[in-house]
Amino acid sequence: MKAVVWHAPGEIAVEQVPDARIQEPTDAVVRLTVSAICGTDLHMVRGSLPGMRPGTVLGHEGVGVVEEVGPEVRNFRPGDRVVIPSTLCCGTCSYCRAGYTAQCDRANPQGALAGTSFFGGPEMTGPVDGLQAEYARIPFAHVNLVALPEEVTDEQAIVVSDVYPTAWFGALLAEVSPGDDVAVFGCGPVGQLAITSAQQQGANRVLAVDHVASRLEMARSQHAETVDFDTEDPVETIRQLTGGIGVDRVIDAVGVDAEAPAWAAPEGFPEQRREITEPGVEGGDQLPPIAPSQASEWAVRAVAKAGTVGVVGVYPPTMDRWPIGTAMNRNLTVKLGNCNHRTHIPELLRMVRSGVVDPLASVTQLTDWDGVIRSYHTFDDKEPGWVKVAVAV
């Protein structure tokens, strides 16, 4: 079967790999119809999320049709349309039953203390081969598949596999309440849906911070108040717009791959981003350096005293620079973590099915196998209009 395979930082390829198959009685095999490229995939390709095992199939967002089920999968059968939650769970441990499905005790092959397991991730997350493939093995399929209503299209459902629940979770972490002023740092796919989620959860105003013009325009189409951090200091601008107080809540949808503004070059940050190439193909110049703590530093200064910061942007275990002193001395509440996808997907599917929200607006490109590597490159370069790339497999 075809799949997108990780070889080394900056080196990925579409290759033929062994077919996915049932390995445990609780497994299923799903024929993917749509997958997607996520910013988290870029973390692994750039090398800013370390520990990847060469040969791992990438991708953690998927929609498809059940092809085969193991003997202990009682609630699905071949032919069922399904969406696949990005993070894995078992459904029976105490964490799963409390809704903390991203911290399942059993799903991660590295053991209960290893933390979140997700498709297509580094060794500490499993590794479990991902969903940018023609077929995928789904462990604990009775809970790691969610049936799709007929009214929800594959393209809508792919957004519900990861980015919409992650954005929704970010607003929950930030404790968004009716009447709040909320700042969202990062206007990529999760950021766009964080704007939507904050508004759904009652935000009075949403301020959206980025520097890519097309992403700011998409945020403005949702009636967010936009802040371009290349042309203005985002903290000072947010304070001016909120009477000198700051916003009540912040959602950090950026993480470790944040970039410094044009007016303040980063100091002491190594060049971590790499040109994406296929194996054996000489890459171009390295992409600009990143500023891994930039978004977090802005977040804790832009929020009002005693406010709340919700972090869903990816920070790997190797990241040891975060503005804890500023947060403590402003009495901030900080909540962060990987989304409990399986917990939130059914509720979000009901909203999509009923027409309360249409997440399809965040899907800006559709590619196929021939264009997937180039799409990675273009998405990484933040080309105008490129927010979310779906892959028709």
One digit per residue, pLDDT tens: the chain, 393 residues? 999 999 999 899 999 999 999 999 999 999 999 999 988 888 888 887 889 999 999 999 999 999 999 999 999 999 999 999 999 999 999 999 999 999 999 999 999 999 999 999 999 999 999 999 999 999 999 999 999 999 999 999 999 999 999 999 999 999 999 999 999 999 999 999 999 999 999 999 999 999 999 999 999 999 999 999 999 999 999 999 999 999 999 999 999 888 889 887 554 444 444 445 544 444 433 344 468 899 999 999 999 999 999 999 999 888 888 999 999 999 999 999 999 999 999 999 999 999 999 888 778 788 889 899 989 888 877 777 777 888 887
Q: The pTM is what?
A: 0.92
Q: What are phi and psi of 97, to 5 degrees?
A: -70, -20
- Residue 209 pairs in a beta bridge with 185, 227
* Contact criterion met (CB below 8 Å) for 379 and 386: yes
Return left, alpha or beta for 40; rule: phi > 0 is left, psi -120 to 50 is alpha, else beta.
Answer: alpha
pLDDT of residue 224: 98
**What amino acid occupies position 296?**
S
Pairing mode, strands 365-367 and 389-392: parallel
Contact 205, 249 (CB under 8 A): no
- pLDDT for 274 equals 44
Q: What type of residue sits at position 91?
A: G
Secondary structure class of 389 (helix, strand, coil):
strand
Which residues make Cβ contacts (< 8 Å) with residue 162, sequence separation at least 6?
Answer: 36, 38, 60, 61, 85, 86, 339, 341
117 alpha carbon, distance to own chain's centre: 14
Q: Is the distance from CB of 336 to CB of 103 less than 8 angstroms?
A: no
Say which residue the tokens 């997907």 belong to: 345
User: For residues 168 and 161, what is the distance between their CA atoms, to the nearest angstrom?
Assistant: 12
Could you give the C-alpha distances from 166 to 176, 184, 311, in angstroms and in order?
14, 13, 10
Backbone angles phi, psi at 305, to 5 degrees: -55, 140
Q: How far apart are CA 252 and CA 190, in angstroms?
A: 10
Q: What is the pLDDT of residue 265?
A: 56
Coil, helix or strand for 123?
helix
CA pair distance 72, 140, nearest whole angstrom: 9
Phi, psi at residue 134, to the nearest 5°? -70, -35
What three-state secondary structure class fits 390? strand
**Segment (H or E) for 374:** helix 372-380
Tell me the C-alpha distance between 94 and 257, whole Å: 33
CA distance 334 to 47: 26
106 contacts: CB under 8 Å, gap ≥ 6: 90, 92, 93, 112, 140
Token pair in block for residue 168: 């929704």
